[in-house]
Amino acid sequence: MFNPAVKVIFYFVVKSLHYTNSAEELKKILEGRNWDLIYPNGSRTTLKSFRLEKQFGKDIFMFSDGTFSAVWLLESFELQDKKVVLQVSRNFGRERLILSLIPRQLQPSLETKVWKIAEFFAKKTDTRIERLKFDSDTQKVAQVVLESYKEKQVLLIGLGETVEKLLAKAVFAKRKWPTRQICIAVLKQAEKLQILHSLLRNYWKNAISIYKVSTDFQIEQLTLLKGIAEKTPKIHFAKVERIESVVCDLIELDKENIEILPLKGRKLLCFLGLPFAFVKAGKVWFGIEKNKKLLTQENFAELCNLIEMLKEYRCFDSPNKQHEFYRLMPEKWLETILRRNIKLLDPELILSPVYDQLNFDKERVDLLAIRQDGRLVVIELKTSESYEMVFQALNYWWKIESARRSGLLQKAGIFPDLEIQEQPPIIYLVAPALSFHKDLDFLASTINPEIEIFRLSLNTNWRQEIKVVERRKI
């Protein structure tokens, strides 16, 4: 008997397949999974690609491990515990091999969860599972195709993936299968997903269903929300209370580019958005990413040298644009420039204050600004392609709009010199012109048209000087 972790892999053979064609049967087992290939001598390699097809009435198995390709006649295969054993031959039977395929391990607990969720959903919706596969890149999404005598459905099961990405994947799935209902099942953040779902156009709200998975893997369909969910998010302004003298000395080394930002009980020292030191409990640690050292009198010169290197390489005319100081955290670099002069993005925005340390329910908005007429603007920044960009901005938009409706923003005195307009915020999606995802406009078209979204394309050399080369409503 198969244990539950293996059961999901071979489901189609033991429960729902009725093929007589062994190549087709084997193909169903192998598709949507990652496999290791083991030769008779015990050597092991990763199966990068494979093809199974019929030629002259024979089943042919072609595979590659990335460097070596082979073509064999598939004589037979069988399932042995956790592996698939293939008997293959070539040269008219003069060469024979027994190859083993072992699934590259997902955590068995995840496989078990997916199996239970898919099985319960199929029972609840009176359908049967036709195909199940995991996201080949992240392994954070399982896609289940189900069918009944009436229709086919697609179920996306989130395994730690963000709800913004899940919603985008659901939209793409509906575009691929326009006649099918798309369902999303999540173990966490179901309420957040439900709220984002409520902000879609009616067609997409009806085409996509949201399900909440309980700890015992029971599934409950969430109701369709009408209008904006009435919930007031918690708002938090991160502030720098006291600045140590040593921090003041470090800022003096480059006042133009070094700034101090608060983060979870720490004070971060950043050079054009790149953290290079932090202060905690009165002690200073310095270094890039994980390479941190405690600052002492003996290594103070090292820290000064690090700052000099940042000056040299983290600038628009860096002598080496492959250097890590130039490449790391470009979005923070862009955010730093815009926070200092938001009018570079839109002359209607007021210069100060522009909030970037504004947290709603522990989620930080990229930038929140306000126009001269009092209209709020939620700004989402990217410097590389991101298909979840639209729904990330939508999530921030909802939090800001909920806080505005409840009067929380006004009470907080967030923009003291202007009265906030009684209108929902505008969304600005900002990225270099060639860095927007190719489906950005399509994804934006799925959102309620009452939410105003603008696409602002920047010049490619934004590090030197920011220019908006295209501004249009989408």
- Confidence check: pLDDT of 163 > 60: yes
DSSP 200: B
Q: Render pLDDT for 422-454 as a digit per residue (tens, 0 to 9).
A: 999 999 999 999 999 999 999 999 999 999 999
Q: 202 and 82, same structural domain?
A: no
pLDDT at 303: 93
Of 103, 129, 146, the position where a domain reaches its end is 103
Q: Which of 274, 256, 264, 271 is nearest to 240 (CA)?
A: 264
Identify each DSSP E strand in 148-200 by its residue range.
152-158, 181-186
* Cross-strand pairs, 426: 377
Query: Would residue 228 count as lying in a domain?
Result: no
Mean predicted confidence (pLDDT) in 385-410: 91
- Confidence check: pLDDT of 186 > 90: yes
pLDDT at 145: 92
- Confidence check: pLDDT of 401 > 80: yes
> Which three-class secondary structure state does DSSP give residue 171?
helix
- Confidence check: pLDDT of 15 > 50: no
CA-atom Rg of the chain in angstroms: 27
Q: Which of 374, 409, 401 is nearest to 235 (CA)?
A: 409
Mean predicted confidence (pLDDT) in 180-188: 94
CB 332 within 8 A of CB 270: yes
Q: 92 and 149, same structural domain?
A: no
Of 103, 137, 171, the position where a domain reaches its end is 103
For the chain, percent of residues with pLDDT exceeding 90? 48
Q: 257 and 128, same structural domain?
A: no
Q: 59 and 112, same structural domain?
A: no
Domain CATH number, residue 451: 3.40.1350.10
Q: Render pLDDT for 30-88 as a digit per residue (tens, 0 to 9).
A: 876 778 888 887 777 888 778 888 877 788 888 877 666 788 888 888 887 778 898 99
Query: Would residue 230 count as lying in a domain?
Result: no
Q: How confident is the model at residue 7 (pLDDT cuts 50, 70, 90)?
A: very low
CB 58 within 8 A of CB 73: yes
What does the alpha-carbon distance between residue 381 and residue 431 come to, in Å, rounded to a whole number? 6
Domain CATH number, residue 37: 2.70.180
Mean predicted confidence (pLDDT) in 129-142: 80
What does the alpha-carbon distance between residue 94 and residue 84 come to, in Å, rounded to a whole number? 23
- Confidence check: pLDDT of 195 > 90: yes
Q: 143 and 201, same structural domain?
A: yes
What does the alpha-carbon distance between residue 368 and residue 378 come to, in Å, rounded to a whole number? 5
Q: Using CB atoms within 10 Å of the CB of residue 143, give its burial: 0 to 12 exposed, 13 to 18 middle, 19+ buried.
A: middle
Q: How confident is the model at residue 27 (pLDDT cuts 50, 70, 90)?
A: confident
DSSP 290: T
Q: Render pLDDT for 251-301 as a digit per residue (tens, 0 to 9).
A: 888 989 999 887 777 888 999 999 999 988 888 999 998 778 999 989 999
Query: Would residue 229 count as lying in a domain?
Result: no
Q: 164 and 129, same structural domain?
A: yes
Q: 256 and 208, same structural domain?
A: no
Q: Render pLDDT for 206-265 as a digit per residue (tens, 0 to 9).
A: 999 999 998 888 899 998 887 665 666 666 666 656 677 877 888 888 989 999 887 777
Most confident of the following: 4-8, 54-58, 313-317: 313-317
Token pair 């729904």 is found at 391
Token pair 């908006």 is found at 468
Q: 129 and 191, same structural domain?
A: yes
Query: Would residue 339 count as lying in a domain?
Result: yes
DSSP 192: H
Q: 212 and 272, same structural domain?
A: no
Q: 350 and 311, same structural domain?
A: no
Query: Would residue 439 count as lying in a domain?
Result: yes
Query: Would residue 452 count as lying in a domain?
Result: yes
Query: Would residue 231 count as lying in a domain?
Result: no
Both tokens assigned to 449 = 């048209």
Of 52, 68, 103, the position where a domain reaches its end is 103
Reported pTM: 0.75
pLDDT at 20: 40
Tally helices (H) and strands (E) across the chain.
14, 26
Query: Would residue 232 count as lying in a domain?
Result: no
pLDDT at 317: 96
Structural domain harbouring 351? 330-473
Q: How confident is the model at residue 14 (pLDDT cuts 50, 70, 90)?
A: very low
Planar angle of CA 409, 390, 462, nearest 5 degrees:
90
- Confidence check: pLDDT of 21 > 60: no
The total domain count for the chain is 4
- Confidence check: pLDDT of 1 > 60: no
Q: 439 and 344, same structural domain?
A: yes
Q: Render pLDDT for 341-392 as a digit per residue (tens, 0 to 9).
A: 999 999 999 987 777 666 666 677 788 999 999 999 999 999 999 999 999 9
* Cross-strand pairs, 458: 432, 468
pLDDT at 136: 65
Both tokens assigned to 97 = 């091999």
CB 181 within 8 A of CB 151: yes
Q: What share of the chain is helix, strand, coil (3-state, %, to 5)?
A: 30, 30, 40
Q: 408 and 313, same structural domain?
A: no
